[in-house]
């Protein structure tokens, strides 16, 4: 399968081996699918002598009530890596689907990867999205790995810097003691 292919659900075995690192890629659109698959190919190439990769992918739109969504649900239960590729938003259907599937993993080790794809939607609640994904991963006893493009890293750095510079006005503290001769 090439990275430009756009199946609703795809299976790709990058290397034949007895044990494969199973990856489920959930994607928002064609651009996010291509970027996520590029990342999967890079991982497979980097670790080709150590582990095989088996990748299943599913579009957000296909998650609820479709054969593709059923197949993605099965893949989520077994995935070593669950990658979510988005421009910054997870609608409530995708968010609930993801939360439900992570809860069913029963403590199985793995990693939840949030991959933000450019262009990032203006006004996307990136910090909130990262916090929700981090919490979901922690609840499922998975590692959380955010993959941010440089523009998002710069934006988050500016937000953090602004928060560090903001100091709420301090109220004057009364003296610790009162007295005329002090």
Residue 40 counted as domain residue: yes
Q: What is the pLDDT of residues 105-156, one digit of tens each?
A: 877 899 999 999 988 877 778 888 999 999 999 989 999 999 988 766 666 6
Residue 32 counted as domain residue: yes
What is the rounded CA–CA span in Å between residue 115 and residue 9?
A: 18
What CATH number is attached to the domain comprising 45? 3.40.50
Residue 178 counted as domain residue: no
The predicted pLDDT at position 80 comes to 95
Residue 34 counted as domain residue: yes
Q: What is the pLDDT of residues 65-92, one digit of tens each?
A: 889 999 999 999 999 999 999 999 888 9
Where in the sequence is the domain holding 160, given as residue range(s)? 9-165
Q: Count the domains in the chain.
A: 1
The upper half-sphere exposure of residue 14, i.e. CA atoms within 13 Å in the direction of its Cβ, equals 26
Residue 107 counted as domain residue: yes
Residue 173 counted as domain residue: no
Residue 41 counted as domain residue: yes
pTM score over 0.95: no
Residue 116 counted as domain residue: yes
């Amino acid at each position: 399968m090439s990275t430009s292919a756009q199946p609703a659900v795809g299976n790709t075995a990058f290397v034949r081996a007895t044990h494969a690192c199973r990856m489920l890629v959930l994607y928002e659109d064609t651009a996010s699918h291509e970027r996520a698959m590029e990342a999967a190919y890079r991982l497979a190439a980097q670790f080709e002598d150590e582990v095989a990769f088996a990748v299943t992918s599913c579009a957000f739109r296909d998650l609820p009530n479709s054969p593709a969504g059923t197949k993605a649900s099965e893949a989520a239960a077994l995935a070593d890596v669950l990658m979510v590729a988005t421009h910054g938003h997870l609608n409530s259907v995708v968010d609930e689907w993801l939360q439900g599937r992570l809860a069913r993993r029963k403590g199985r080790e793995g990693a939840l990867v949030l991959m933000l794809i450019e262009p990032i939607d203006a006004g996307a609640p990136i910090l909130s999205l990262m916090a929700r994904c981090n919490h979901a991963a922690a609840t499922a006893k998975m590692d959380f790995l955010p993959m941010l493009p440089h523009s998002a890293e710069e934006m988050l750095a500016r937000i953090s810097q602004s928060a560090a510079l903001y100091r709420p006005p301090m109220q004057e503290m009364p003296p610790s003691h009162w007295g005329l001769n002090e």
